[in-house]
Amino acid sequence: METKLSKHVVNLESVGPVDVLVQGDLDKDKGGESVFLTLHDVGGSHDDWVNFFNHEDMRETRDRSLIVHVSLPGQQEGAEDLDKEFPSLASLGMSLVTILDQLRIARVVVMGEGAGANIAARFAANHPSRVSGLIVANVKHAFASFPAKLKTLNSGKLSDTGLNLKNVAKYKAAYKAREEILTLFSSSLTVDSLIICGGNNSACARAAEEILSVMPVGKCSILKVEEVDRVLTEAGDKLADSVILFCQGLGLVPSVQRKVSRSRSIIGVSTAAEETEDGDKQTDMKTRKISMEMFDIPNIRRLSLSSHNI
């Protein structure tokens, strides 16, 4: 069944018009409703996040939430050539708050993948009062790294998606030219955050651990999924479980049931630097076993989502 999305065009300062696709009832009272805002990667589209929220394990969350998908400039299927360069990721991170203002949304859980994760982090740092939590997948804080599908950009295979390759290349160039944001994570990012990446052999795992090491104690967790590169599209069930747990730790979607096995335990990793008995901070990650009963308690500051090495 085709997903019903309502389209809105919002003009952002220093950026221009962007398409915003709303999944859910925008006219419904949003006072007690969970609201998500998504940002897609280079070579992707808002459909990547639409498909995730349509995953069976996200059905309850989707039906009880409002999801706002941002389609970044020129990245829609069949889009015309952009008549200017793609806006900087910094300008996007600053101006996205206009979408919330125009749609009369107070706060969101902002979610991004790849380049979209970089924008999401900037948005959360610039507008913490408008962000309930931050979820970023395959985030890189320094040097550019692109998903495998973008390696086919020059060969034209990406055109099978219906995306405008010239516009994708401009988004890619803006991502490559982005400013380093590790300092932003250490000094400006104050919201609870979940970092998602593949296993230890994935390109983004080391970056995720570096970001974790500079975040305030108790503010950040990591989900690692072995043997995948793009958790969003390759491990939707594991991502859904952790997103729901994270949101419940924020006091959102409290009645949603997570689909996890009750008969096994998982391996967890401490989420931040811990103090030793003599007061020194120890940043080595410690492995511990968490029972499923403990894991079900929605307390993001006490529990880690790290290393779902499944």
Report the distance separating Cα 97 and Cα 91, nearest Å: 11
pLDDT score, position 183 = 85
Mean pLDDT of 164-186: 92
Q: Which domains does the chain have, with CATH numbers?
A: 6-295 (3.40.50.1820)
pLDDT in tens, 116-170: 999 999 999 999 999 999 999 998 866 544 554 555 454 445 657 799 999 999 9
Cβ-in-10-Å burial (0-12, 13-18, 19+) of 203 comes to middle
Does position 260 have pLDDT exceeding 80, yes or no?
no
Weakest-pLDDT range from 37-51, 103-117, 173-187: 173-187
Give the bridge partners for 22, in sequence order: 6, 68
Report the distance separating Cα 175 and Cα 39, nearest Å: 13
pLDDT in tens, 3-15: 899 999 999 999 9
Which residue, 285, 243, 244, is CA-closest to 267? 285
Does position 259 have pLDDT exceeding 90, yes or no?
no
Confidence of residue 285 (pLDDT cuts 50, 70, 90): very low
Report the distance separating Cα 277 and Cα 261, nearest Å: 36
pLDDT score, position 29 = 64
Give the bridge partners for 274, in sequence order: 282
pLDDT score, position 122 = 95
Cβ(309)–Cβ(199) under 8 Å? yes
Which residue, 45, 70, 46, 179, is CA-closest to 118? 179
Mean pLDDT of 210-224: 89
User: Per residue in 109-148, is it b (16+ CB within 10 Å) or e — as a string?
Assistant: bbbbbbbbbbbbbbbbbbbeebbbbbbbbbbbbeeebbbe
Please name the residue ranges forming H helices in the chain: 46-53, 59-63, 89-95, 97-103, 115-126, 165-176, 182-187, 205-214, 231-234, 236-249, 292-295
pLDDT score, position 48 = 96
Cβ(99)–Cβ(10) under 8 Å? yes
How many Å separate Cα 102 from the centre of its chain?
22
pLDDT score, position 229 = 84
Q: Cα–Cα distances in Å, from 11 out to 103, 112, 279?
A: 12, 20, 50
Does position 300 have pLDDT exceeding 80, yes or no?
no
Cβ(176)–Cβ(83) under 8 Å? no
pLDDT in tens, 191-206: 999 999 988 877 788 8
Report the distance separating Cα 132 and Cα 128, nearest Å: 8
